[in-house]
């Protein structure tokens, strides 16, 4: 479902490919999540987000099932680095899996609004054909612009249309669909495993490579036991598991720290760390020095900690 939001006078704009944090009060609790902007900047000043209702997702279910015209929601400033440069040349390649289509759709629409000045190919993966978003619009753009090509790839169903194929991302598949991949500027978005597979295949071959993942890579937690986390401002001490994100641990303890993307991108959950050692859940690196912007969503406690919360 695509929702159009009308920002107030404090809105400072965005670049296609960026995200915003959206906040709504649900049953007395303020819930914030990060959503990609799915359209290019519009002449009427409104902004678009495309939301998939997720099982158990409080905000996504609210936005898809309960939101009404005239509702007021909170939005934060736009953030994110996966954007097209203001100047540039050379053919583009967009690789999207699942919900990863949304920021790439905003970028595609911005290029199309300029008359498609650069050759652009989109390869878009989903489990079944019914899960493709914007399929009719994408096919319409391909029909109108000779320099735009779209390939729909099914991972759990048979291909039925000429622009559809089957299979998970692989070197052979990309070479077949995009023979000149080495000359392309590549932008990829999707689950963490998909993005890492694409990075391994193309990062050293393409003219340039930018990516964002909307889920972290699967990780194996080798640490066990608990550590003591002291919340200095609250005067409260908790026991939290090693290997669990500090954000999840605090939420499990009944607290509601500020959060947004839950992927370490937006910095909404950042807080100060006075002492102790933390482990970055994506890179497995440790940090023992005091820091002013510890991101709770991608950090776990490797020792006793004191946080500025």
Domain locations along the chain: 2-75, 92-213, 226-307
Which CATH topology does 92-213 take?
A: Rossmann fold (3.40.50)
Same fold, 92-213 and 226-307: no
Q: Of the candidates 297, 286, 296, 287, which has an alpha carbon nearest to the alpha carbon of residue 263? A: 297
Could you give the C-alpha distances from 248 to 25, 254, 255, 286, in angstroms and in order?
A: 20, 10, 10, 19
CA–CA distance, 69 with 137 (Å, rounded to integer): 24
- Predicted confidence at residue 221, as pLDDT, reads 53
- Predicted confidence at residue 218, as pLDDT, reads 57
Q: Determine the 3-state secondary structure of 266 from DSSP.
A: coil
* 226-307 is a CATH 3.10.20.30 domain: yes
- Predicted confidence at residue 68, as pLDDT, reads 92
Only one residue has tokens 């500025």, namely 308
- Predicted confidence at residue 219, as pLDDT, reads 58
Stretches in the chain below the pLDDT threshold 70: 216-223
Alpha-carbon Rg for the chain in angstroms: 21
Top-tier CATH class for 2-75: mainly beta
């Amino acid at each position: 479902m695509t929702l159009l939001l009308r920002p107030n006078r404090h809105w400072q704009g965005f670049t296609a490919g960026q995200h915003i944090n959206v906040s709504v009060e649900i049953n007395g609790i303020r819930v914030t999540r990060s959503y990609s902007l799915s359209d290019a900047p519009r002449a009427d000043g409104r902004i678009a987000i495309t939301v998939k209702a997720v099982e158990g997702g409080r905000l996504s279910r609210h936005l898809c099932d309960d939101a009404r015209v005239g509702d007021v929601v909170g939005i934060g400033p736009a953030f994110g680095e996966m954007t097209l440069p203001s100047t540039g040349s050379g053919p583009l390649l967009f690789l999207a899996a699942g919900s990863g289509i949304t920021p790439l759709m905003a970028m595609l629409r911005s290029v199309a609004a300029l008359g498609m000045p650069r050759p652009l190919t989109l390869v878009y993966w989903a489990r079944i054909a019914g899960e493709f978003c914007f399929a009719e619009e994408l096919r319409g753009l391909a029909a109108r612009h000779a320099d735009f090509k779209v390939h729909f790839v099914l991972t759990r169903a048979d291909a039925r249309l000429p622009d559809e194929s089957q299979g998970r991302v692989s070197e052979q598949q990309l070479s077949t669909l995009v023979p000149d991949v080495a000359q392309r500027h590549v932008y990829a978005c999707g689950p963490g495993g998909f993005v890492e597979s694409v990075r391994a295949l193309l990062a050293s071959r393409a003219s340039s490579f930018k990516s964002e993942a909307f889920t972290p890579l699967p990780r194996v937690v080798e640490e066990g036991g608990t550590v003591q986390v002291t919340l200095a401002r609250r005067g409260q001490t908790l026991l939290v598991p090693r290997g669990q994100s500090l954000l999840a641990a605090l939420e499990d303890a009944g607290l509601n720290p500020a959060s947004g993307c839950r992927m370490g991108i937006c910095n909404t959950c950042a807080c100060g760390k006075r002492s102790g050692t933390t482990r970055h859940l994506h890179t497995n690196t440790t940090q023992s020095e005091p820091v002013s912007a510890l991101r709770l969503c991608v950090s776990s406690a490797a020792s006793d900690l004191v946080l500025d919360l």
